Amino acid sequence: MPNTKSAKKQLRKDTKRSAQHLPVKEELKKTLKKTRKAIASGSKEEVQKLEKNTIKAIDKAAKKNVIKKDTADRYKSRLQTKINKLNK
């Protein structure tokens, strides 16, 4: 438990932020998992449908500071690399 006044306030802020970030983070994980599963199964049509939504979810999470910008860029880069390998 926090002892000082500022630590108590920080705990309140952290709790509120966690609650706000949770739906965005869950949506991101869900779309990434679906896309990776589609890539593993090798279905090009399904991957094309999911790609746009996945990139949109990654960008939205980065914009809301759920994940950092560089992390978002890394996710998109690795995803695009896998999609390009699938399309070859």
Q: Please check whether residue 6 lies inside any domain of the structure.
A: no
Domain count, the chain: 1
Q: Please check whether residue 73 lies inside any domain of the structure.
A: yes
Q: Please check whether residue 44 lies inside any domain of the structure.
A: yes
Per-residue model confidence as pLDDT tens digits over 54-84: 999 999 999 999 999 999 999 999 999 999 9
Please, how many CA atoms are within 13 Å of residue 76, restricted to the half-sphere of its CB? 17
Per-residue model confidence as pLDDT tens digits over 16-58: 999 999 999 999 999 999 999 999 999 899 999 999 999 999 9
Q: Is the pLDDT of residue 88 over 90?
A: no
Question: What per-residue confidence (pLDDT) applies to 85?
Answer: 93
CATH code, 71 = 1.20.58.110
Cα 11 from Cα 2, distance rounded (Å) = 8
Question: What per-residue confidence (pLDDT) applies to 87?
Answer: 87
Q: Please check whether residue 29 lies inside any domain of the structure.
A: yes
Structure-block tokens of residue 72:
């978002």
Report which of 66, 74, 84 is spatially closest to residue 22, judged by C-alpha positions: 66
Q: Please check whether residue 2 lies inside any domain of the structure.
A: no
